[in-house]
Amino acid sequence: MSITLYIFLFLAIVFASVFSALFGLAGGTMILAVLTWTLGIKNAVPLHSAVQFVGNVARLGVYYKLVVWKIVGYFVIFTLPGAYLGGLCIDFFNEKWLELSVGIFILMTIFMPKPSFKNGIRYEIFTLLGFLGSFLGMIVAVSGPFIASFFILNNIKKEQMIATKSVCQGITQITKLIIFASVVKFSFEKFGFLLLILSLAAIIGTFIGRYLIEKISEKAYNVLNNWLLATIAILMILGALMKILM
């Protein structure tokens, strides 16, 4: 790889990680898109998981006091079985239709009338979410928007959402990395130096995002978060439809 490509990827991951630290989503989609464009989809998906894991650890470091650990406890129960099953099913599921379905579901959670949850949604829902998030993450790679669509139903503040979602997604990424290394047999060592550069970029972007989130009001944040989720969902739907029709 050329120095120019290393610099481009470094700056792209910094920019994407700022979004992840601000909203807990969008950054992963950007990272996957850039890695796919430069390295191909087979390398991009496992490398995306590695970079996202580092980013989630960094976000945990700056938001750790705000994590809702009860949600994490329910979320983690079935993440490994979900990732394992997803790893086994990579060649059997049509990722285009899965991506289309996830995009439609995200739009539904944003725009459909929401039931009134005085204390947020039931914690048991996050057990199923952990399984589905890790399963889908193995096949369509980007499961962050899907997970985020449930968090907007919960009555927690923006920093709490980022903190808790970062831990949940970090756990998902760990399980995916285990499956990529053991079941899929992907060689992370081959990309060791690149991963070091991209990990540093993810950490820098996280600290920038942590600084910026304090400048946004809760009301404005919720509006921006919903619009960002909707944009990602529409792009997922359009991208899947284009692949289906081609």
pLDDT digits (tens, 9 = 90+) for 81-111: 887 887 777 667 666 776 777 677 667 766 6
For 11-47, the pLDDT digits (tens) are: 999 998 888 888 776 677 788 778 888 888 778 888 8
The predicted pLDDT at position 227 comes to: 81
> pLDDT value at position 84?
81
Q: What is the pLDDT of residue 112?
A: 60
Domain count, the chain: 1
Segment 205-245, tens digit of pLDDT:
999 988 888 888 878 877 887 787 788 778 778 877 887 87
Most confident of 181-185, 196-200, 233-237, 240-244: 196-200
pLDDT value, residue 202: 93
User: For position 158, what pLDDT does the model report?
Assistant: 79
Q: What is the pLDDT of residues 134-173, one digit of tens each?
A: 787 776 655 666 676 677 666 677 788 888 888 887 887 8
- As separate numbers, helices (DSSP H) first and strands (DSSP E) second, the chain gives 11, 0
Q: How many CB atoms lie within 10 A of CB 98?
A: 15
Q: How far is CA 215 from CA 22, 63, 64, 224, in A?
A: 11, 16, 19, 13
**DSSP sequence for 146-206:** HHHHHHTTS---HHHHHHHHHHHHHHHHHHHHHHHHHTS---SGGGHHHHHHHHHHHHHHH
For 57, the domain range is: 3-245
- Average pLDDT rounded to a whole number, residues 2-6: 87
What pLDDT does residue 109 have?
A: 63
- Provide the pLDDT confidence category of residue 177 given band limits of 50, 70 and 90: confident
pLDDT value at residue 203: 94
